[in-house]
Amino acid sequence: MKILVTGAAGYIGSHFVKKALDRYPTVKVLAVDDLREGHAQALPDSERVTFHNISIANSEALDPVLAAEKPDAVVHYAANAYVGESQEKPFKYFDNNVAGSLNLFKLLARHGVNKVIFSSSCTTYGNPEYIPIDEKHPQSPINVYGITKLMIEQALMGLHLASGWSYISLRYFNAAGADDQAAIGESHEPETHLIPLVLQTALGRREEIGIYGDDYDTEDGTCIRDYVHVYDLAEAHCLALDKLLALKEGDSTFDAINLGTSRGASVEEVIKTCEKVSGRSIKRKVTARRPGDPAKLVADYTRAKEILGWEPKYDLERIIETAWAWEKSRQY
Ligand code: UDP
């Protein structure tokens, strides 16, 4: 089995590669990343992984890789993923996420590769009309990042209808945590995600953690999110991949599946759990709300259970334990 992984040196992509090597003893991974945001050190040193330092927008470089290797399927992570930045630089997101993906799909079509696992997002739902959010919830994104993810989902639907492609869009809630051995983990520049910022405050690398509003309509007034461990996400990608690879010649399928735990945690609860795990008290300061933040985002993951047989294994405390071990010893 041979799989192309785009964004393989990124946070979620690199955890998937590590997991896939464990799970599939003979898999060959074609790891594609342009290292603009990814980290070469995040990729395992394995003869089963070939690293290609190229962008999905670079047809000239990607075409010969596909011609020579012809993967059985693609797991497509490569994307810019900052909501705030997407509002400031919409064309960066349209170019890298949308045009980049379309370019990738064009090349896949040229080489007869028509199975894709796509890294989508709960951001495609926009402001929730009800909680927990299932896949039938209207997709009405409220920022450019969410729009780009929805556009790619729709492009895949088009390719399914027109050319019989098979794909599964996995809509993640809040990816968090790190490798159990702390060999790899989250490293964004700049970091904007709650858990790493709180843990960096615990380590004294930041003065305090700003809480973006404590007057939401939630129990403690702070926003509620559904944090899901990167290895739980990686496992779901493997299960989705198994589904596509098991299709009989000529059959095709598509699906969209939420990946979350169905358990929401407030910002305050995250900070308290970080204090418990680190054994340190963490200075917080309530600041203004961040524009575009819904009060609550929680997944209904029934479909992941039914279709993939997936269950998240890491609870919030375990997620934070892995993130803490990584944060203390990170190599990149
Ligand atoms: N958040 C916060 N302070 C921070 C970063 C995040 O209060 O410095 C809150 C944010 O408003 C949201 C939650 O933490 O409710 C998770 O934010 P994150 O940026 O990690 O993920 P998002 O939900 O935006 O994808």
Residue 281 located in a structural domain: yes
Residue to mutate, 211, 225, 270, ligand 1, most ligand atoms under 8 Å from C-beta? 225
pLDDT at 312: 98
Verify that 131 and 144 share a domain, yes or no.
yes
**Is 125 assigned a catalytic role?**
no
Residue 185 located in a structural domain: no
Residue where one domain finishes, among candidates 242, 259, 276: 259
Verify that 102 and 235 share a domain, yes or no.
yes
Supply the Cα-derived Rg of the chain in whole angstroms: 19
240 lines ligand 1 (CB under 6 A): no
pLDDT at 197: 98
pLDDT at 306: 98
pLDDT at 72: 98
Verify that 247 and 314 share a domain, yes or no.
no
Query: From CA 278, how far away is CA 23, in angstroms rounded?
Result: 31
Verify that 248 and 162 share a domain, yes or no.
yes
Residues 6+ apart with CB under 8 A from 317: 273, 276, 277
pLDDT at 291: 87
CA 317 to centroid of ligand 1, rounded, Å: 17
- CA separation, residue 150 to residues 11, 106, 234 (Å): 21, 18, 21
Verify that 146 and 291 share a domain, yes or no.
no
pLDDT at 292: 85
Verify that 249 and 278 share a domain, yes or no.
no
Domain span at residue 134 reads 2-175+229-259
- CATH number (domain holding residue 76): 3.40.50.720
81 lines ligand 1 (CB under 6 A): no
Residue 111 located in a structural domain: yes
- CATH number (domain holding residue 305): 3.90.25.10
pLDDT at 50: 98
Structural contact between residues 115 and 150, judged by C-beta atoms closer than 8 angstroms:
no
Residue 184 located in a structural domain: no
Beta-strand relationship, 28-32 and 174-176: unpaired
Verify that 22 and 154 share a domain, yes or no.
yes
Number of domains in the chain: 2
Residue where one domain finishes, among candidates 206, 239, 259: 259
Residue 305 located in a structural domain: yes
Residue where one domain finishes, among candidates 259, 277, 308: 259
Residue 189 located in a structural domain: no
CA 221 to centroid of ligand 1, rounded, Å: 14
CA 216 to centroid of ligand 1, rounded, Å: 13
Residue 104 located in a structural domain: yes
Verify that 207 and 238 share a domain, yes or no.
no
Verify that 250 and 301 share a domain, yes or no.
no
Verify that 233 and 276 share a domain, yes or no.
no
Verify that 298 and 238 share a domain, yes or no.
no
H-run or E-run covering 160: helix 144-163
Residue 187 located in a structural domain: no
H-run or E-run covering 317: helix 316-329
pLDDT at 134: 98
Verify that 99 and 235 share a domain, yes or no.
yes
pLDDT by position in tens, the chain (length 332): 999 999 999 999 999 999 999 999 999 999 999 999 999 999 999 999 999 999 999 999 999 999 999 999 999 999 999 999 999 999 999 999 999 999 999 999 999 999 999 999 999 999 999 999 999 999 999 999 999 999 999 999 999 999 999 999 999 999 999 999 999 999 999 999 999 999 999 999 999 999 999 999 999 999 999 999 999 999 999 999 999 999 999 999 999 999 999 999 999 999 999 999 999 999 999 999 998 899 999 999 999 999 999 999 999 999 999 999 999 999 99
188 lines ligand 1 (CB under 6 A): no
